[in-house]
Amino acid sequence: MPTHQKEPHVQKLLLEERNRIAEELHSGAAQSLSNALFLINLFEKSGKKEELEEARQSVQFAIHDIRYAIRELREEEPWPLLPSIRDSINKVKEKRKIPVEFVVEGNEVPISSEIGYYLLTLIEEGLYNIAKHANATTSRLTLTFKPKEVEVIIEDNGSGFDPSIASEGNFHFGLKFLKERVSKLGGRLKLDSVPGKGTKLHVVIPIN
Residues 122 and 178: their CA atoms lie apart, in Å, by: 7
Please state whether beta strands 139-145 and 100-105 pair in parallel, antiparallel, or not at all (unpaired): parallel
Residues 31 and 37: their CA atoms lie apart, in Å, by: 10
CA angle, residues 187, 21, 108, in degrees to nearest 5: 40
Residues 108, 114, 120, 125, CA torsion sign = negative
pLDDT, tens digit, for every residue of 157-198?
Answer: 998 887 776 544 444 556 777 787 788 889 999 989 888 889
User: Which residues is 103 bridged to in the sheet?
Assistant: 142
Give pairs for 185-190: CB < 8 Å, separation 24+: 185/114, 185/115, 185/118, 187/149
pLDDT, tens digit, for every residue of 12-61?
Answer: 776 676 666 666 665 566 666 666 667 676 666 666 666 566 666 667 66
Among residues 152, 153, 169, 151, the alpha carbon closest in space to that of 161 is found at 169
User: Which residues is 101 bridged to in the sheet?
Assistant: 140
Mean pLDDT of the chain: 76
Residues 180 and 185: their CA atoms lie apart, in Å, by: 9
Per-residue pLDDT at 150: 96
pTM: 0.66
Residues 44 and 2: their CA atoms lie apart, in Å, by: 50
